[in-house]
Amino acid sequence: MEFNVKGITFTQDDLVTINLSDIEVNTISHAHYFHFLPGKSKAILLLRAGDYLDKEFVERFKKKGLASLYCLEVTSREEVQKYKTLWGQFKVQRTQKQKLLFRDVILKKVAEDFLILEEKSFLSFVIACFEEFNIYSQDFIYNFQNGSLILYNRALLVSALNSLVCLATDYTDYLFIKDFYNLAFGMDSGFILKEAPNFMLISACEAERKYPGSGQEYLEKNKRSEFEIKKFLNHPLTSFELVSEFKEKFIFPELIEHIKIHHEKRDGTGFPYGLYYSSLSDTETLLSFCDYFVPFEEHHFHKGDGRLLLDKNFQSFTQSSFFSSLPVQHFSSSWQGVLNWSYLSQKAVSE
């Protein structure tokens, strides 16, 4: 019998039983977790792959008398560990030559797993980056996820992609990459301050991503309140305030200032300050790069999702009408170089 639960399709043979005591907690889930109603005719999704899995999740079901759950694995601890090992090896390199060599090892591994073979889920890299770099408290992560699954899910993707773009553009300082990962993860966290964002605010974010400058127009056109419009325009500042609460965990805390300006535009019509891109540094524009090519939508992690996340979304961004007006050509060229290598390698494999 085939089941389809919230867009996840599977048969009971695809599932494995896992004891609650064996579920790894305080990290990102590598599997979808289900429970079956009596008769096993209906499956209930309890947790998605990519969701933050805390100890309370396990304790809640233990109190209900359950000893195990069904899970549908999207990736494995072994796949996650491979990337954690690579980051660990990259971290201890001392010379620039050594760092560049290991940089190439990581990028080639990513290309092979998610662009050439296309048999694995990008989730393995996402979890590895979270476990390697995350500085935020459990409460911060939990509130982010509860406030908006879309924003939380997207934060995982943008931050992991940001670490790859750092490598592709020759940023090889491990501590800098770690700080930038956390900047990217937290740069939209201000939306969950005080109350969760509604559908219109998320839609305004997507409108802004597709065409910079259109987010406020979208809200005004749909007759949204002054409060919502202000929340949208001020979210870089509120995100800055939230992330600043963790500044002692940053190696370069001055980088947190970058969050304030990730929506500025070349012609000075961005927000919240109306700065011109000519006054912004390379690293300040780096933060906004991945923000443009990751849609504001819920991503269901699955095997073979790397091509969409690393290539197709990027190509859609570079083909957009506003792309040439953004000061991100340096980063896009570097990332296109990674993709070109994967295309050539894939062609060689097929031949």
Q: pLDDT tens across 3-56, in order? A: 999 989 999 899 999 999 999 999 999 999 999 988 878 999 999 999 999 999
Residue with tokens 């406030």: 147
pLDDT at 28: 97
Give the model's confidence band at 350: pLDDT under 50 very low, under 70 low, under 90 confident, else very high.
Answer: low
HSE-CB of 261 using CA atoms within 13 angstroms: 21
Output the average pLDDT for the chain: 91
Closest CA to 136 of 173, 185, 177, 91: 185
Q: Per mean pLDDT, which range of 140-144, 267-271, 336-340 is the poorest?
A: 267-271
The domain limits of the chain are: 2-73, 77-350
pLDDT at 277: 62
Beta-strand (E) ranges in the chain? Answer: 2-5, 8-11, 16-19, 27-28, 31-36, 43-47, 52-53, 68-73
3-state secondary structure 260-324: HHCCCCCCCCCCCCCCCHHHCCHHHHHHHHHHHHCCCCCCCCCCCCHHHHHHHHHHHHHCCCCHH
Residue with tokens 């290598």: 341
Tell me yes or no: is domain 77-350 CATH 1.10.246.
Answer: no
Give the model's confidence band at 198: pLDDT under 50 very low, under 70 low, under 90 confident, else very high.
Answer: confident
Closest CA to 161 of 344, 287, 11, 76: 287
Q: pLDDT tens across 201-248, in order? A: 999 999 999 888 899 999 999 999 999 999 999 999 999 999 999 999
Instruction: Copy the structure tokens of residue 350.
Output: 């097929």
Is the model's pLDDT at 348 over the cut of 70? no
Task: Calculate what percentage of the chain has a pLDDT beyond 90.
Answer: 77
pLDDT at 270: 73
Task: Calculate what percentage of the chain has a pLDDT beyond 70.
Answer: 95
HSE-CB of 27 using CA atoms within 13 angstroms: 18
